[in-house]
Each structure stands twice: as C-alpha cells, then as structure tokens.
C-alpha cells in the first residue's frame, strides 16, 4: 500500500488506527457511542424533572443532561472516521432536543399561544377573504413585474445608445421614480389623475404605480448587465457589420441575461412585497385581507397564515431563478483570457 502523503489523513480505516495506537480508544468505539446514547435516553425518560418551570435543584439535573448530551455530540463530531451523514444527524438531533427542552421547561403558555396564533378554526373562517387577497396580490405583482421588465429593458437599451438628450430624460425618469414613495404615486394615479380626465381602476392604478417604480430599478439592473460585457464583444460585433440593434439583440442581451437574473429576481420579490401598499387605495390585497380578518375575528392567526401564503408565493420564484441560472451556466461560457 502506498505511503500516504502529508495531504492525506494517515488514518484511513479504523484498523489503521488500531495499528497505529495499538488499540481503538474506548470513546471511538461504536459500542461506546450506542451505549452512552442509551444512557442519555434513559436519563431523559426517567431522571429529568417533569414539565413546567423547574425548581433550583431540578435545574441542576437539566444542566447535567445538557452537558452530557453536548459531550456525547462533541465526541462524535471530532471523530474523523465517523461519516458526515451521522454527524449531520447528530447535530440536528441536538437542535431538536434543545427545542424540546425549551418547550418543556420554559414558562411559555403554549396552549394560549396556539389558540391565538395557530388557530386553524379561525384560519378556516378567514380563508375565503385570504384567498381573494392572495390572488389580488399575485395579480398586482405579476403585472407590475411584466410592465417594469419591459419598460426597464427599453430604457436600458436606449441608454446604451449614449445619446445626450435621451440620457437626460432617462436619468430624470430613473431618479424620479426611485425617489417617489410608492404610496404617494398610487394615490396620485388613483385620486389625482381623474381630475385630468384619466380615470383608472384601483387595480390598474396599483399596477401602474408598482410597475413605474420597479422599472426604474430594473433599468439600472439591465444597464449594469450591459456594462458587465467586455468591450471587445461589442467591437467584434460592430466590426462584422452588425448595427447597434443587432449587436444588442444577438451579442449583448444573451450574455447580459445570465448576469441580471439574481438582482432582477431580488427586485421582483421586493416589488411583490410592496403590493401591500396597495391597501392605501382600497385594494384588498393579501396583507390587508389578513389584517381585516384579524380585526374581525379578534384573532391574529389569519395574519400568521398570511406569512405562510407569502412564502408560498416567493419561495418557488426564488427557486425557479436558481434553476434558470443553473441552466444558463450550462449553455453559456465565458472565454478565458
């Protein structure tokens, strides 16, 4: 067998350890691991004080238990030969046991908390309103995202023409809509525009305001994406005879796409959370639905459930963007120089 280099561990197998030291140390043996585990379990079942806030003496028993558990976990963790899988299981178990201990001994009023914040009966009552709010929020978020992407991309493309006049207007647009509070924008569109003869529904006003605000950020994201492309690419494209539009379409955009996905998705998520502001122009979106149900039922559970619904909306989006990025990685490559 080849002599292991200094980069390799000298102890590849338990038998190596045995050969090296002469015997397997007691604490490394599997028998120790399982034996001590069963002792800990017995301790937990019989020797720990019962539920409820512990007396001072009992506190000692709990602390001792924690110490033993931690030492046991530490022994396993520092063992080179134990598998990563086992160590992961041990770490998770320690966290779960810690949570269980907290649950058992803290003076939290778990029952009451459950009734208030995790009350399924209340959630059922609130359900229809919450669902309506969910779809409204989704509609607002999706429409605003589409609108902001189209406008933002166009702005970034126009900006790339480097025309002084065009740049002035674009920069003014971006500065204005980034600074403008969304609520004010929504109110202006919904309440003030009718005086100029433009009467838009609440939903459309909401989408418009969200879209305009988000488009300013999107245009900066695309602009940064364009700047990230090496100048030589554009030169080669122009030298071949492609005009600026063709260069943008065939050379710049495909390459920029991969770069802009993370910040773009971040922008969509932030914008989707801003939909909550639409309640200021009397749109029943998800958050407002949750708040109103909370008042109606005098129980905050619907609000907690709203959080779950927001997660349902966002996590697939962020996972999808991760998937997109991964797929881009396979089909696009950077030239190494």
Partner 1 sequence: MNDTGTMIEVVDLHKRFKDLHVLKGISTSVKQSEVVAVMGPSGSGKSTFLRCMNRLEEPSSGHIYIEGIDIMAPYIDINRVRTEIGMVFQSFNLFPHLTSIENIKLAPISVRKISDKEATDRGMALLDKVGLADKANVYPEQLSGGQQQRVAIARALAMQPQIMFFDEPTSALDPEMIGEVLDVMRNMAREGMTMMVVSHEMGFIKEAADRILFLVDGLIVEDGTPDQIFNYSKNERTLEFLSKII
| CB within 8 Å of 237: residues ≥ 6 apart | 246, 247, 250, 251
What letter would DSSP give residue 25?
A: -
Distances (CA, A) of 297 to 53, 216, 282: 32, 40, 20
| Residue among 148 and 237 whose Cβ is closer to partner 1 | 237
| Residue among 237 and 279 whose Cβ is closer to partner 1 | 237
At its nearest, how many Å lie between partner 1 and the CB of residue 232? 4
Residues at the contact surface with partner 1, assessed by CB under 8 A: 230, 232-233, 235-243, 246, 250-251, 254-255, 331-337
DSSP, collapsed to helix, strand or coil, labels residue 97 as helix
At its nearest, how many Å lie between partner 1 and the CB of residue 261? 14
At its nearest, how many Å lie between partner 1 and the CB of residue 320? 21
At its nearest, how many Å lie between partner 1 and the CB of residue 287? 41
| Residue among 22 and 241 whose Cβ is closer to partner 1 | 241
DSSP letters, 198-243, are ----HHHHHHHHHHHHHHHHHHHHHHHHHHTS-HHHHHHHHHTT--
Token readout for 140 is 């607002």
Cα 142 from Cα 127, distance rounded (Å): 22
At its nearest, how many Å lie between partner 1 and the CB of residue 321? 19
DSSP, collapsed to helix, strand or coil, labels residue 9 as coil
Helices (H), the chain: 14-21, 30-42, 56-77, 84-105, 110-117, 120-159, 164-179, 182-187, 202-227, 231-239, 244-247, 253-274, 286-297, 301-331
| Residue among 121 and 235 whose Cβ is closer to partner 1 | 235
| Residue among 6 and 331 whose Cβ is closer to partner 1 | 331
Cα 98 from Cα 209, distance rounded (Å): 47
At its nearest, how many Å lie between partner 1 and the CB of residue 203? 39
At its nearest, how many Å lie between partner 1 and the CB of residue 129? 47
Token readout for 200 is 């838009």
| Residue among 88 and 332 whose Cβ is closer to partner 1 | 332
| Residue among 115 and 257 whose Cβ is closer to partner 1 | 257
At its nearest, how many Å lie between partner 1 and the CB of residue 327? 13
Q: How far is CA 116 from the centre of its chain?
A: 27
Which of 203, 177, 181, 179 is CA-nearest to residue 190? 203
Asked if 146 and 154 touch (Cβ cutoff 8 Å), the reply is no
| Residue among 82 and 238 whose Cβ is closer to partner 1 | 238
């Amino acid at each position: 067998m080849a002599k292991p280099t200094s980069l390799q561990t000298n102890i590849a197998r338990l038998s190596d350890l045995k050969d090296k030291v002469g015997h397997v140390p007691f604490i490394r043996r599997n028998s120790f691991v399982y034996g001590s585990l069963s002792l800990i379990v017995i301790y937990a079942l019989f020797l720990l004080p019962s539920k409820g806030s512990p007396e001072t003496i009992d506190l000692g028993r709990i602390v001792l238990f924690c110490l033993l558990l931690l030492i046991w976990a530490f022994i396993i963790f520092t063992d080179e030969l134990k598998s990563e899988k086992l160590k992961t299981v041990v770490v998770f178990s320690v966290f779960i046991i810690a949570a269980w201990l907290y649950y058992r001994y803290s003076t939290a009023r778990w029952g009451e908390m459950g009734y208030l914040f995790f009350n399924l009966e209340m959630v059922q009552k609130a359900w229809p309103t919450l669902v309506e709010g969910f779809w409204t929020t989704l509609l607002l978020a999706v429409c605003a995202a589409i609108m902001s992407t189209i406008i933002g991309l166009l702005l970034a493309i126009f900006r790339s023409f480097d025309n002084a006049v065009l740049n002035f207007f674009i920069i003014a647009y971006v500065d204005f809509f980034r600074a403008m509070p969304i609520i004010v924008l929504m109110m202006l569109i919904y309440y003030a525009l009718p005086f100029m003869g433009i009467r838009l529904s609440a939903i459309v006003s909401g989408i418009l305001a969200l879209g305009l605000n988000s488009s300013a950020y999107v245009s900066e994201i695309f602009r940064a994406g364009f700047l990230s492309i090496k100048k030589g690419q554009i030169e080669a494209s122009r030298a071949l005879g492609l005009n600026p539009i063709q260069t943008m379409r065939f050379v710049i955009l495909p390459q920029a796409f991969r770069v802009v996905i993370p910040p773009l998705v971040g922008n969509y998520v932030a914008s989707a959370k801003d939909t909550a502001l639409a309640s200021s122009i009397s749109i029943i979106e998800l958050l407002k639905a949750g708040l109103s149900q909370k008042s109606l039922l005098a129980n905050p559970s619907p609000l907690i459930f709203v959080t779950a619904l927001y997660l349902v909306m966002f996590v697939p989006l962020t996972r999808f963007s991760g998937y997109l990025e991964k797929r881009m990685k396979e089909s696009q490559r950077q030239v190494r120089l």
